[in-house]
Amino acid sequence: MIIYESQNIESLNFQNIRVYFDESLVKILINVVEAAHSLAQTVTSERGVYGEKGKGAVEATINSLVQKWSYATTPLTALDLSAELLYSFLTRHKFHNGNKRTALLTAIIFLEVCGFFIKIDPRKGYLKDWEHYVIKIVEDTKNLSEEEQISEIVKWFEKQILLSFTVS
């Protein structure tokens, strides 16, 4: 779900929200990427060959990321993981077509699963901002290390996030 910005939001401490690394996370992330790639095919008029370049490429990437995260020496937040998902699928081209859209949608869907929503208002140019930002990430792979880029993505996400509150 994409939320329209309607008012100022107090700043949030993203360090208090954690993700646990286990087989269920791997399954969730694979489902998120598959859903994102399916959605990526519908949000454009561009047609072409879609699907994984190599069978099991998505699963291998997810397993590699989850294993890396499980050995992290500092606590990771949902924003850290989402940023790394975005970066990994954006720069490693696991699909024949729709890699940028899939990467961005993967990050957004994962954030939603964690209870976050992206604030976006088409009247204020947010959609173009996202498009330009994703292209900038790809271009910056020549100038910044992976760690520097992921850190920058986290900072950018912090400015784009709303929390989801469910009232029973």
- Which two three-digit tokens encode residue 138? 């790809």
Of 11, 24, 25, nearest to 78 by C-alpha is: 25
Q: Tokens 């729709």 correspond to what residue?
A: 98
Residue 6 resides in a domain: no
Question: Can you give the length of the chain in residues?
Answer: 168
Residue 10 resides in a domain: no
Q: Which domain holds residue 37?
A: 18-163
What's the structural domain count of the chain?
1
- How far is Cα of residue 57 from the mean position of the Cα atoms in its chain? 17
Residue 66 resides in a domain: yes
Per-residue pLDDT of 77-88, as tens digits, reads: 889 999 999 999
Residue 4 resides in a domain: no
Residue 55 resides in a domain: yes
Question: pTM value?
Answer: 0.79
Least-confidence region, from 31-35, 79-83, 94-98: 94-98
Residue 168 resides in a domain: no
CA dist list (Å): 98 to 13, 87, 94, 145: 33, 14, 10, 24
Per-residue pLDDT of 38-70, as tens digits, reads: 888 887 666 777 788 889 999 999 999 999 999
